[in-house]
Amino acid sequence: MSLPTPVHTLLLPLTQPGTNGRIAFTSMRDGNAEIYTTNSDGSNQVNLTKNPAIDATPVWSPDGSKIAFTSDRSGRQNIYVMNSDGTNVTKITKNDDGVDFRIFDPAWSPDGTKLVYVGSLMGEVSSLLVVNADGSGVTTRLDPTSTEVTDPEWSPDGTRIAFTGREPCFNCYPDFIEGIRFYLFVMNADGSGKTRIADLPLPFASFFFQAQGSGPTWSPDGTQLAYSYDDNHTQAGQPRHVADILVVKAGGGSGGFKFLTEHPAEDTFPSWSPDSSRIAFTSNRDGHREIYVMNSDGSQPVRITNGSADNFDPNWQTFNHTGPLPPAQSSIQFRAASFRVRERLLTDHTQDPLIVTRLGDLSQEVTVDFTTSSSCPDSFMCTTPASERSDYITTSGTLRFAPGEASKSINVPIIDDAYVEGNESFYVRLSNPTGGTLGIQKTASVTIADNDNAPSSVNPIDQIGFFLRQHYLDFLNREPDSEGLAGWYKILENCPAGDIRCDRIEVSSAFYRSPEFQQRGYFIYRFYSTSFARVPRFTEFLPDLAKVSGFQSDQQLEVNKVAFINEFMARQEFKNRYDSTINDPAAYVNALSNTAGVHLPNKQALIDDLAAGRKTRAEVLRAIAESGEVYQKYYNESFVVMQYFGYLRRDPDILYLEWIKTMERTGDYRAMINGFMNSAEYRQRFGP
């Protein structure tokens, strides 16, 4: 696994919700776990619980007046709330039946009205649960997909919850460790948008009343998270109980991580001070666990407890509470920094999800562009690159998050070639967000797990199913729909030998001639012919096609066509040619018709409509590009160019001019398609 490059300076928080009060912690000094509080210098330590039960994991309410904690004083673990002096102990949860249910790790919402905690049924998964802070109402379960969670903490603005956990991993084999590591997550407060932050695994060390690992704790301004991390969790095949406190960016902009402690001991349970200047934590660096306080940059650690038994799990009290911060702006990022997909004929995106999440304010619509690439970013540990021609289909587009929507999926078709290549990787990048900012994981690596163990003598393109799916991908830029795929399969399977009405050549030609391609692919192509009198480059055409391809309603397609035209006209090449005609309708229409090389019978009507404001410049451009004159003039040229784009996934070479002449002279598309479809260059994309 690749780790980010360490960042040695982090911005200090700019705001904080209050000033520092006392520190609550768990102590074993009385022979059992009790809740104590202390001043931040270690003076005036007071036992608040004095109960023979196990009282642990104390957390202060946002206003500093109460402490929530877990206790088994009723015979089973429950969450209790007491005043800051230990009086008025009130049971909040109702874990009283005979089921072996465990409750731990409570945390307050920043407005003090709710508590989030971990509930775990023995032998089953643990979950994050939310209850009203007074115990009333219904308990709500968050994040049902995790297999184990621990240590939740609400963000200062109330929009997010950070926690540690692990989750199902469909494609981890043979890297099975991926499915059992604990990671740091952030999700929205309603349980949506779960995002793995920084891809740094948590320690395997086992802590008292904890599953594995500890933290996180938010910086008071909500921009950073401190938590405990073990960067070398095994030694000689055994768990290595060494952990350090580090800080990572919680989202929004580029960043990295910084180790605050680098000590050969277990440094765990960090808690940020309300004024942001210090962090309390637990360490066994002096023989057993004690509470330490250090500056928020990791300097000057000082032990503030000193006993013969363990003291651990500090939590800082807030005075002069200013209330929750304003909601954080939406941050958009990949759910994780790396994904793993399987090489197979039909990509199952329920098993191979590339998920993009947004965190923070979900009230507005946001968009973000994405694109795939085989080029390894500098910040990644580069592996064998996957090929855009034979391993996956170049994919790009725009994700649109509706108000309240927290996650979207990117579907990248994987090609099940016959080569023994080992695992290969490509990358997906996010860019151009609107309505939000890019989070720290704006690029993700995707590893394709090779399924070939020995060289094959069979080329998969000779199989009907593979042949048809590849045509959907190469010419229509989408996965096949089941009805269409079944129809084409039936035609090829039942086609008599030598029948040119239904053979592979005829089926292949039908994809170019289909209404779907003509209304989308050829639609895009004609804007280059009309505006620039040139053939689009493959790297231009593919992302433009992505804007109008896929499963879209007529209304969605029209919206996306209009958006494409507006974006096309904003390109510098178009502006250089036509900006001088902005105030001259006749010059604009004449320039377009001359560039397209066609005579338009309605040219004067277009000029008049533009001059009178009945049409916009974009509508005039579209009218010319969609005219019958342009359609007929460039049909054969486009037919030829699409063979290069579709079959060979590259720009045409000079021979494309000869193919155009052949098409113009004879109209024999079968000879052309046969040449491309049976070429070594095409067939070797997939196998021998």
DSSP string, 170-210: TT-TT-GGGGT--EEEEEETTS-S-EE-TT-PPP----TT-
- Band (pLDDT 50/70/90 cuts) for residue 328 is confident
Closest by alpha carbon to 172, among 336, 332, 333? 336
Average pLDDT on 257-269 reads 86
Average pLDDT on 557-564 reads 96
Least confident interval from 272-276, 335-339, 400-404 = 335-339
Q: C-alpha dihedral over 539, 544, 546, 550, to 10 degrees?
A: -140
C-alpha count within 13 angstroms, C-beta hemisphere, residue 458: 7
- Band (pLDDT 50/70/90 cuts) for residue 326 is confident
- Band (pLDDT 50/70/90 cuts) for residue 7 is very low
Judged against a pLDDT cut of 70, whether residue 124 lies above it is answered with: no
Give the whole-angstrom CA distance, residue 274 versus residue 18. 6
Give the whole-angstrom CA distance, residue 35 versus residue 314. 10
Q: What is the pLDDT, as a whole number, of residue 165?
A: 82
Q: What is the pLDDT, as a whole number, of residue 3?
A: 30
* pLDDT tens figures, 585-620: 999 999 999 999 999 999 999 999 999 999 999 999
Q: What is the pLDDT, as a whole number, of residue 234?
A: 44
> Are β-strands 437-438 and 331-334 bridged in parallel, bridged antiparallel, or unpaired?
parallel
pTM across the whole model: 0.82
- Band (pLDDT 50/70/90 cuts) for residue 246 is confident
Q: What is the pLDDT, as a whole number, of residue 265?
A: 86
DSSP 649: -
Residue 553 one-letter amino acid: S
Q: Please report the DSSP string for 390-459 in residue order.
A: TTB---EEEEEEPTT--EEEE---B---S-----EEEEEEEEEEESSEE-S--EEEEEEE----S--SS-
Judged against a pLDDT cut of 50, whether residue 206 lies above it is answered with: no
Q: What is the pLDDT, as a whole number, of residue 251?
A: 67
Considering the chain, what percentage of its residues have pLDDT values greater than 70? 88
Give the whole-angstrom CA distance, residue 457 versus residue 447. 25
Give the whole-angstrom CA distance, residue 407 versus residue 297. 34
* pLDDT tens figures, 563-586: 999 999 999 999 999 999 999 999
- Band (pLDDT 50/70/90 cuts) for residue 145 is low
Give the whole-angstrom CA distance, residue 189 versus residue 113. 13
Q: What is the pLDDT, as a whole number, of residue 256?
A: 65
Q: What is the pLDDT, as a whole number, of residue 6?
A: 31
Give the whole-angstrom CA distance, residue 101 versus residue 99. 6
Q: Please report the DSSP string for 638-682 in residue order.
A: HHHHHHIIIII-S---TTHHHHHHHHHHH--HHHHHHHHHT-HHH
Residue 46 one-letter amino acid: V
Q: Which residue has the tokens 């004879």?
A: 666
Least confident interval from 181-190, 451-460, 637-646 = 181-190
Q: What is the pLDDT, as a whole number, of residue 315?
A: 97
Q: What is the pLDDT, as a whole number, of residue 88?
A: 97
The dihedral built from the CA positions of residue 671, 673, 678 and 679, taken in this order, carries a sign that is positive
Q: Which residue has the tokens 């151009």?
A: 432
- C-alpha distances (whole Å) from 84 to each of 38, 68, 274, 396 are 12, 10, 17, 55
* pLDDT tens figures, 27-51: 999 999 999 999 999 999 999 999 9
Q: What is the pLDDT, as a whole number, of residue 255?
A: 52
**Which residues, including other chains, have CB under 8 Å from residue 550's CB and lie 6 or more apart?**
397, 477, 478
- Band (pLDDT 50/70/90 cuts) for residue 190 is very high
Residue 592 one-letter amino acid: L
| Domains of the chain, first to last | 23-316 (2.120.10.30), 331-455 (2.60.40.2030), 465-685 (no CATH)
The dihedral built from the CA positions of residue 505, 509, 511 and 515, taken in this order, carries a sign that is negative
